[in-house]
Structure 1
Amino acid sequence: MTDQNLSDLLDRAGERIAAGSPPLGAMIDAAAVVRRRQRTRWTGALAAVGAGAVVAVVVGGPALFPAADSRTPPQPSTQGTSPVESEPIPPGTRLVGIGHVAIAVPEEWATNAIRCGTATRPTVVVDVTVIEGCALLAPKVHDVVWLERAVNASMFVPDRDVEIDGVAAQTNEVTCSELGNGTTSCTRTVFVPSDQASFRAIAKTKERVDEILSWIRVVDDRVAVPGFHGVNDSEQDDDAGEHYRQALQAAGLAAQVNTQFVGGGKPGLILGVSPAPGTMLEPGQTVTMTEVADPRGPADLVDVEVNSVGPGNSMDYRGRTDAQLRAGTRIELELGSTIWVYGHGQGIGSLAGEISGPALALDDWREGPNYGRSWTAVARGTSELTVTITVDGERIVIGTVTVSVR
């Protein structure tokens, strides 16, 4: 594999804010009498949350967080419970949750605005099971809350029991760390066992962390749209779509299934759901899920892309996607550039290209699997590159690229 191919694969697969309400910690410590409250029932219209979100490693620390696991965290040593007095839902917020537990975040917050596991702006993070294996130098600390199903017992050790709208929960002390760039990152977690819902807040100050966590609510008459990335990860050898439909049914939601062709994609893999994971819906409402469709023929078994670089030491990369290739696409190259094809899926070992026209010639790269799949722009003019695979002795055309060399 060449450096260019490796780069392609990696590219694809990978100040302070004043506290506006009483801090959670202060409310916990000041409480002397346990009093249960009725769960809040929401009858007004609630703004829905939108979420978007995929190869990566997951590590601990103030910037990177592991995917939740199903282990029950160790029980806190502090005896007794203290109430957490939730503040009324302020205007200009939206609910994002897991099960019947949600947090009211400002509407202007983004969803899943993270890079290398670090927030790039104030954001709520939901249904993210893997994060990029990289690190940001001198990252800024933005308000962020991570929603995860269950908790990682190695990272969360509760030290007190609390109540949120009459429902038992667990929390720990706020911890802060210096990032080395003159900023501080503070974090704290609240875990609600009944819904296996974990909320981890990050901010510049302890007070702001407490304030963010005071936005958590229990909403009996709404339920969150389940996440689907975990199903794709854990059930992709079976039918991820079927497992997700079961999750929707268990949540009391209905499913509508659409399918979409994806070259080389595994049928049944979930491409997306709408409304997005974390959106609070009324029981019985419909979630539209889009799955990878069954292959229509041998060409659908592969995903093929085109990339180019050059000339010389130039790092001017220009590429085309599988969809563009199949539709027929054009690309302009400088004289001396190199262009190649690559991909994955069944039959990809027979991937080849056929050239017509004077602009391209078979590259003399003899350093591995690219030989026979890469070409050099040797003359000004136009060539057409026809990309094919061979299945059971039959030549299958994937698509074409018209290459203009100037």
Structure 2
Amino acid sequence: MNESKLSELLEQAGERTAVNPPPIDAMRSGATRRRRRRTAVWSAAGTAVAVAAVIGASTALTNNGATPLEQPPVAASPVPENLRLVGVGHTAIAVPKSWGTNQLKCGTPTKNTVIVDPGPQGYCFLAQAAGIVSVRIGTKPAVEFRADETFQLNGVEAQRQRTVCTAWDADRPTTCTGAVLIPSRNVWIRAVSSAGDEAVGNALEQIWFVKDSIGVPGFRSLDLETSTDKYLAELRAAGFEWTIKTKVEPGAPKGSVLAVSPAPGTMVPNGSTLTLTLAG
């Protein structure tokens, strides 16, 4: 971004007024629970699940394909007090408030966490510890995503990848992975658990469609040299307003996006004003 463009953005910043993020009770969904819904058991300390033993082959389908897959329903409103919503567009996942955000080391979760717009991650082949559950929400499915079932999620077509558990070795716990793709909304949600396969199903049952709120878009996947124009175009298309402040950041291209507040994934009212921090 050149200096004239940055100056123009700074002039526009003075005309905009910031809006605080909403209370969680204001985020409501008109959806109903699916009749076959399994009960998700959450606690303020995390997810209560039993560690499943894996017998036989190192990789197995949790239901062996013998019975229909559980279809994660849209959770009913209001949001339980111990949960918070993290979203992309008008689609969100509810996770315990006790969870962190992007609690990663070398791309591996180190605590129970929701992952949204984490940015580039260095990999050091760190093994995930036992008892950890993570949920990632984004727009680009992992290359290994495969749809095992197509179903209707509150009237919207969705695809479910069956939960698969993989036994590694004596030094690494068994991990279970499942995912949901909602093509029309360009949203992908994956749950990974080293605390048993039940935690994957419980996590994917907490998908919400929210009309009056929208997730703050991420920016870290964009190229620094061209990120600002692309990001502002995305914000404008989603109906956001914004104010701008600058910060000296050695090595960052002038005018590139350094941060956004509220943070990516935060659900805010439609038309909210965000605060962007650009490299000055």
Q: Please, what TM-score do these two structures have when normalized by structure 1?
A: 0.50
Distance 1:161 1:151 in 2: 16
What is the 5 A alignment of 1:189-204? 189-203=179-193, 204=195
Distance 2:190 2:244 in 1: 32
Partner of 1:147: 137
Does the residue aligned with 2:26 lie in a helix, a strand or coil?
Answer: coil
Matched, 1:118 2:105: no
Partner of 1:156: 145
Kindly indicate whether the alpha-carbon contact (under 8 Å) linking 1:159 and 1:171 is maintained by their aligned counterparts in 2. Answer: yes
Distance 2:155 2:161 in 1: 19
Kindly indicate whether the alpha-carbon contact (under 8 Å) linking 2:72 and 2:204 is maintained by their aligned counterparts in 1. Answer: no
Distance 2:176 2:153 in 1: 22
Kindly indicate whether the alpha-carbon contact (under 8 Å) linking 1:84 and 1:163 is maintained by their aligned counterparts in 2. Answer: no
Amino acid at match of 1:258: K
Distance 1:107 1:90 in 2: 10
Of 247, 259, 269, the residue aligned with 2:246 is 259
Distance 1:82 1:205, change over 3 A: closer
Matched, 1:248 2:235: yes
Deviation at residue 108 of structure 1 after TM alignment? 0.5
Distance 1:93 1:137 in 2: 27
Amino acid at match of 1:45: A
Q: Deviations over 1:223-246 (max 9, x none)?
A: 111001012x2xx333x2222111
Amino acid at match of 1:193: P
Q: Deviations over 1:138-175 (max 9, x none)?
A: 633411001121213x3101011122222211111100
Kindly indicate whether the alpha-carbon contact (under 8 Å) linking 2:74 and 2:209 is maintained by their aligned counterparts in 1. Answer: no
Distance 1:290 1:207 in 2: 40
What is the 5 A alignment of 1:294-333? none
Amino acid at match of 1:119: P
Distance 1:133 1:84, change over 3 A: closer
Deviation at residue 265 of structure 1 after TM alignment? 2.4
Distance 1:250 1:82, change over 3 A: farther
Of 288, 292, 314, the residue aligned with 2:279 is 292
**Identical positions, percent:** 35
Amino acid at match of 2:97: E
Q: Deviations over 1:162-206 (max 9, x none)?
A: 222222111111000113236211000111112211110011222
Kindly indicate whether the alpha-carbon contact (under 8 Å) linking 2:137 and 2:188 is maintained by their aligned counterparts in 1. Answer: yes
Deviation at residue 93 of structure 1 after TM alignment? 0.8
Deviation at residue 45 of structure 1 after TM alignment? 2.7
Matched, 1:214 2:193: no
Distance 1:270 1:139 in 2: 34
Does the residue aligned with 1:230 lie in a helix, a strand or coil?
Answer: coil
Of 214, 228, 236, the residue aligned with 1:223 is 214
Aligned residues: 214
Distance 1:137 1:97 in 2: 27
Kindly indicate whether the alpha-carbon contact (under 8 Å) linking 1:227 and 1:278 is maintained by their aligned counterparts in 2. Answer: yes
Higher relative contact order (CA 8 A, sep 6+): 2
Does the residue aligned with 1:187 lie in a helix, a strand or coil?
Answer: strand
Amino acid at match of 2:225: D
Matched, 1:85 2:73: yes
Kindly indicate whether the alpha-carbon contact (under 8 Å) linking 1:82 and 1:162 is maintained by their aligned counterparts in 2. Answer: no
Amino acid at match of 2:231: Y
Distance 2:111 2:119 in 1: 19
For structure 2, the 5+ residue unaligned runs are 1-22, 29-68
Deviation at residue 135 of structure 1 after TM alignment? 2.0
Kindly indicate whether the alpha-carbon contact (under 8 Å) linking 2:73 and 2:207 is maintained by their aligned counterparts in 1. Answer: no
What RMSD in Å do the two structures reach over aligned CA positions?
2.3
Deviation at residue 248 of structure 1 after TM alignment? 0.7
Distance 2:155 2:24 in 1: 19
Q: Please, what TM-score do these two structures have when normalized by structure 2?
A: 0.71
Of 171, 177, 192, the residue aligned with 2:160 is 171
